[in-house]
Structure 1
Amino acid sequence: MTTTPTRDVVFPPGRKALYERNRYSPAIRSNGFLFVSGQVGSREDGSPEPDIEKQVRLAFENLNGILGAAGCTFDDVVDVTVFLVNPEAHFETIWKIVPDYWGTAPYPTLTGIGVTWLYGFQFEIKVIAKLPEDRPH
């Protein structure tokens, strides 16, 4: 008999239908860590925010919603991967926004990847966070 593994899924408030429609989990708790799927600057209906600066801010707000639902903050993030469409054109615009959400040193690890397509988005951020030991899982 085969059993399906149980995943400890974290859903941000008000966006569960969006994740169910697209068939993925926004975040999974596992072994003391929170693995967060890539977050983009999507509006409530899932469509891209067209303004690049607003899109990046919205991606961080969506990320913070998931982190908060798991009892974390960005201070708990240990690893970050960002995906950028046309990084040569957008990097400076995007990177001037990052300090508003990034916190203070020591910073998490970072991998930045230039891509050609993100489903209509220009920026995506995915993270791994350490679940605080003093907060319930």
Structure 2
Amino acid sequence: MTDRKIILPSSMALLAQRAGYAPAVQVGATVYCAGQVGRTADLQVIADPEAQFVAAWENLRLVLAEAGCTFEDVVEMTTYHVDMRQHMAVFRAVKDRTFPRGACAWTCIGVTELAHPGLLVEIKCVAVSRAVPRDDSVSSS
């Protein structure tokens, strides 16, 4: 049996309900974040690449914050990119002003498409919380 806490920021309730997934799951001090993308709380994909990348990082920040973490707690990250050559310079610029440089293991993967048309990046990560896990965990086997 694994004790786990489902991490669900209130702004992502519609997405979690519609997609049937958890934005993150915390087991002990480890937080496993599902891939976050650049769309609004009402599930609209943001068309402008830079604004979409900013929103993807903000959505990841919200998930981590709900688990009591920050970007500094991230130990591993994977990013999935559509049209990586075209958008990587802008993505890196947004990342460099948002996320601590060189603070975690990072794998960057080019893909042909993501879950919805127009999405250009998905960011998933694993973080280790410095806070004590909460007692209101949901147990699942």
TM-score by length of 2: 0.87
Alpha-carbon distance, 1:114 to partner: 0.1
Matched, 1:108 2:104: yes
State the distance in 2 between where 1:5 and 1:128 align. 17
CA deviation digits over 1:18-76, x for unaligned, max 9? 11110111000013200000000011211210000000000010000011111000000
Instruction: Tell me if the contact between 2:39 and 2:55 (Cα under 8 Å) persists in the aligned partners.
Output: yes
Q: Which protein has greater RCO, CA pairs closer than 8 Å, 6+ apart?
A: 2
Instruction: Identify the match of residue 57 of structure 2 among 47, 57, 60.
Output: 60
Return 5+ residue gaps in structure 1 as ranges.
none
SS in structure 2 at match of 1:48: coil
Aligned mates of 2:63, 2:75 — CA distance in 1: 15
Q: Is the CA contact (8 Å cut-off) linking 1:13 and 1:69 kept in structure 2? A: no
SS in 2 for 1:117: coil
1:6 Cα deviation (Å)? 6.2
1:21 aligned partner, one-letter code: R
Aligned to 2:138: none
Q: 2:120 aligns with which of 119, 122, 125?
A: 122
Query: Which runs of 5 or more residues in structure 2 are unaligned?
Result: 135-141
SS at match of 2:65: helix
Q: How many percent identity over aligned positions? A: 32
In the TM superposition, structure 1's runs of 4+ consecutive aligned residues that sit over 6 Å from their partners are none
